[in-house]
Structure 1
């Protein structure tokens, strides 16, 4: 079901282009036709009547756990309040961006909420990103203050006027105020890009935000006072939760966060999301699917990926617990599964790639009753593997520009198709043709989204914002906008919304949104490259892989070109944007009008020999590992012991599969980081020997397992009887 056009169209449009039909409510989550949010009218609190108007969480219940320890709600309130006070002293207030360059700890959650409580907006700066990319993001956002931790490389925050280092639990060390930077520096405002005097920014959030509207200022001041009272941690348990209190510390149309996504121009673009859009998301998911106070949500997503907003904040909005997985645990299937089992996790949200990592590690623990999958299309085979008795699997969809998720729905049995679900609360969906008119059932069109979840736009990019955030002629409200997603969908005859793919050059790899133009810009900047393109091809394992196409400056291609290009790409782009394979061409294919013919770009020869000379395995362990690599990567030719796993097309998901097989085959507990540090067969085999502290031969262990697998129950019982004491 898709929202149709209201009976009173926007008079600025040509009436002949608008079907004159009555509006239909968006089904499912209590959605409304068109946006319900008036700019500036929100408070950042959860909408009246939502599930969050229940009593607040129990003050002594655990709110957050993970690296950095456990925090009860009482302790979380106190630490958020303490840090927010420090941030206000340093000039943080409404519209002031604050960088979060932090490890995955409980302190990360404290920092996020404290920035909001101070009235500011957070900007994720993932420590795993290249230094140059983080610098571009900081400069674009106008960040004058970054919160970090001792374990983060100091080079990543070099040049920032103010840097405040927090403990793993989110506390400010006593000497931090003077050790890193003085609190008197002026911080830039997100609204005008200029400095805000520290004295002004350190005033109350309401006074800073509402100079022109006394009534609005009064409401904001009341909300800010309420947040401070809640944060005092007196433990009465009948106030707002920590998320609602933090959001209410500034007007609802105030900036909540800026998240950077891949940009087609070669520079990342910042999506500005207001507070009331976040409040709407949380209120909708608190109602359906909903959480219970006894739920435990395993948070596995980097802060730079906006789906982290739901997994970090919804549990706190519902009085449940967030369990923060470290970066190492989130990337390591066995470690992630062990954490989920040990913490008795009941809820988890992940991309298809992360769910596959968990399945490869032994399956999803049966305690996880609520399973959310999103970020890219959910394949039927994965859905079938995630379906289990007593567990609900939800397919969720939404671009960053409409605040995390815009649709959600329960996935049915194998006989049913997988669709995008239904619109969440106060969200409208339109499937439109090239003229901006609704399509008929069964016809493909571009999905447009309107409603309370819309972002402001792209930071500092008014032309790009106007291109994607269009006037909404169907909302029946002047000034309403809708976002053109670039996603092709079809409204099936039974009312289901089917995802068909992208209408532009944007792609998704393992849940991350990627503009191919950004990769191409880096490739073209290399000295030995004349022309370049990027594409996506299905790898031998059936999963999409990024491919770089290069016309070298001279032919034949110089030796070591791929290694040089990979190094350059890794200096400028996150790892998920680095292509898995290089194809060198004499010339790029062109269409008759002289444009790049992307459809004619050849698929890579995945079996082609690498530039590294072949050296055969010389030990049983090397032979076993080479066989595993060939099977997981889908490579038909022999794998040499010096071949680089990642140059063969490996990535984080296939690395997790290799580690799971190694642990199953050899019985050795191997962290996934070992493969990243030793990406050759020879290197990994040596590392396995070093990990073995019992002087046991790994090949002998594997051979013994083979022998035991061939015995029946009676033969096994006889062996155990012989080994029993006194036999």
Structure 2
């Protein structure tokens, strides 16, 4: 483990803050953070806040086009990055600061305290946008302070806690994993990216470290369960970003001490409501508002509905964001002023359909628009549709979410212009250049026309009724060279319903995902009578490469796979970054 003390973190962040101040950076200016998961990433976040500026997360694994769009929209004055990214053509050289050089031998610099107001922006997170472009949500220091202080009180985080941080900083729930613990004086375990995407490594991290709090989406909790996670004594489990089922909650309650269901859009600062779930909880709700947060449920005319009636949830209070960056029309539509007597407050229209129960808990039942969530990430389907429609030859497109093998996936329904023939690969390739991987559809269907409603809108309910092809064998012809390739291909095609054309197709490009890979692993182990790790499957993502690996191991596969897995998990553990007092 690489251990970082609070004293060292303070020095590292001071060096970064001093550098930013010397560059003339002031409040409400945006600084990009383009770093891999590490202690330097955390020091950079703290350094930007110390300098009084606002940070904008930039995930190095996002497509180049999306990073460029965010950089231009935010007008970033500086990019904090590491040595290996310094020569990237994404940024202008004068923008780039190599933080590796600043934190290698940090000086005990005293940083002048800048004048920071509650309304100044602390960070800006980009979320999916219905217009086809992501939109920046500006969160103020007042918003941030209210959230941190509320979380310290309930669910309660203190200096004795050990938090495992697994969330990308491009997802706003990283605040609870990184900044809340720093205020509490807790120990933070920063999991490397490889471990976050591999449930076997994540289970290993949990079992080998005294973790007391883990925040994850229901998808991640399901992955842990599928990987044989037995539970963790003394663990507080936070679930959010997606709907928590009663079945999953019941399972988690047998594996942790406390379970909370968290809810909140980015526009109201991470989490806005929460519910502690116990074995006696009759139904899963999103609970009650956190500190200094108010809610209203209104009908389509904006009139508050009685208790027990469904309507759109509006959230007000100290967590409501400053607004969207450079989007005045959208701000006036989504952020509205409501009065209560003589008091006027800003409320955010969430678009979530909810009702207030007699016990003051909130129940959530869907959306008023086409926004969906995949693995906790918020997705505006229109953004994907606009990207597909930019492909030459595409006439129209509609994207829906369907369950395949109990896993929610994105399905693109496409119509083509007359006399146009188009394969899936060029569409997928273009989307991969523009969108994060979680926004690229797993399945593509070509239709003669899209069903329409009487109002001339795409009939998404009719699209939901379309059966997905369960078997691709009649649609494709795969040339396989070995018996092993044939067996793996049969699993892809007949067991997983993946769209595969050649043995060199990538598992994830063919429609696979981090949940389906667990089913894939089980099928492979049964077929080849060997033990495999998910880490290995992330490494060998094509039929050909996995076949070559299996053939090279021969009869010693089981023993070798165990050694490989142990080696990879040891490497993941050695990459764990720890911040403690």
1:537 paired with 2:469, answer no
What is residue 469 of structure 2 aligned with on the other side?
A: 606
Q: Among 265, 281, 294, which residue is 1:399 paired with?
A: 265
From 103, 113, 133, give the equivalent of 1:171.
Answer: 103
Cα distance between partner residues in 1 of 2:425 and 2:492: 24
Could you say if the C-alpha distance between residues 643 and 107 of structure 1 is closer, same or farther in structure 2, counting changes exceeding 3 Å? closer
1:601-636 CA-partner distances (Å, limit 9, x unpaired) = 2534231416541457954686378548855x3x49
Q: Distance in 1 between matches of 2:274 and 2:557?
A: 47
The root-mean-square deviation of aligned C-alpha atoms, in Å, is 3.0
Q: What's the TM-score, normalizing by structure 1?
A: 0.71
Going from structure 1 to structure 2, the CA distance change for 1:598 and 1:446 (only over 3 Å counts) comes to same
Give the one of 325, 338, 348 matched to 1:483.
Answer: 348
Task: Tell me what 1:353 maps to.
Answer: 219
8 Å contact from structure 2 (residues 13, 47) kept in 1: yes
2:563 maps to 1:698: no
How far apart, in 2, do the equivalents of 1:440 and 1:623 lie? Answer: 59
Q: Please say if 1:372 is aligned against 2:238.
A: yes
CA contact (8 A) 1:447 1:486 kept: yes
Per the TM alignment, residue 484 of structure 1 is displaced from its structure 2 partner at its CA by 0.3
| Alignment partners' CA distance in 2, 1:523 and 1:640 | 23
Return the alpha-carbon distance in structure 1 between the equivalents of residues 17 and 230 of structure 2: 38
- CA drift of 1:667 comes to 5.7
| TM-score, normalisation: structure 2 | 0.88
Q: How many residues align?
A: 557
1:311-342 Cα deviation digits (max 9, x unpaired):
11111111111111111110000111112222
Q: Secondary structure at the match of 1:472?
A: strand
Task: Kindly indicate whether the alpha-carbon contact (under 8 Å) linking 1:445 and 1:488 is maintained by their aligned counterparts in 2.
Answer: yes
Q: Does 1:81 align with 2:14?
A: yes
Q: Where does residue 419 of structure 1 map in the other structure?
A: 285
- How big is the shift at 1:600? 1.7
Return 5+ residue gaps in structure 2 as ranges.
562-581
- In the other structure, the counterpart of 2:189 is 323
Residue 638 (structure 1) shift: 12
1:468 equivalenced with 2:468 (yes/no): no
Q: Map 1:298-317 onto structure 2 (within 5 A).
A: 298-317=164-183
Measured in 2, the distance between the counterparts of 1:273 and 1:600 equals 39
Residue among 303, 326, 333 paired with 1:437: 303
Does the Cα contact within 8 Å between 1:547 and 1:582 map onto a contact in 2? yes
Counterpart position of 1:515: 380
Q: Alignment partner for residue 102 of structure 1, among 2, 24, 35?
A: 35
User: More strand by proportion, 1 or 2?
Assistant: 2
**Aligned CA distance change for structure 1 residues 555 and 353 (closer, same or farther; 3 Å):** farther
Deviation at 1:136, TM superposition (A): 0.6
How much does 1:166 deviate?
A: 2.1
Offset, 1:383 = 1.2
Show the counterpart of 2:573.
none
Distance 1:528 1:625, change over 3 A: closer
2:428: which partner in 1? 566
Q: Which runs of 5+ in 1 are unaligned?
A: 1-65, 175-226, 233-245, 703-727
The structural deviation recorded for 1:363 is 1.2
Structure 1 residue 663 displacement after superposition: 7.4
Measured in 2, the distance between the counterparts of 1:98 and 1:266 equals: 24
Change (3 A) 1:545 1:336: same
Q: How many Å separate the matches in 2 of 1:626 and 1:406?
A: 46
Partner Cα separation in structure 1 for residue 45 and residue 341 of structure 2: 33
Contact 1:272/1:457 (<8 A) preserved = yes
| Aligned equivalents of 2:11, 2:558: Cα separation in 1 | 54
Instruction: Show the counterpart of 2:575.
Output: none
8 Å Cα contact 1:269-1:458 kept in structure 2: yes
Measure the CA separation in 2 of the matches of 1:252 and 1:700: 58
What is the SS of the residue equivalent to 2:88?
A: helix
Matching of residue 339 in structure 1 with residue 271 in structure 2: no
Q: 1:148 to 1:643 in 2, by over 3 A?
A: closer
Kept after mapping to 1: 8 A contact 2:324/2:331: yes
CA–CA distance in structure 1, aligned partners of residues 51 and 253 of structure 2: 42
Superposition pairs of residues 111-510 of structure 1, within 5 angstroms? 111-152=44-85, 154-155=87-88, 157-159=90-92, 161-167=94-100, 171=103, 250-363=116-229, 365-367=231-233, 369-388=235-254, 391-413=257-279, 416-474=282-340, 476-478=342-344, 480-510=345-375
The alpha carbon displacement at 1:85 in A equals 0.7
Contact persistence 2:181–2:188 (CA under 8 A): yes
1:72 aligns with 2:11: no
Distance in 2 of aligned mates of 1:287 and 1:670:
40
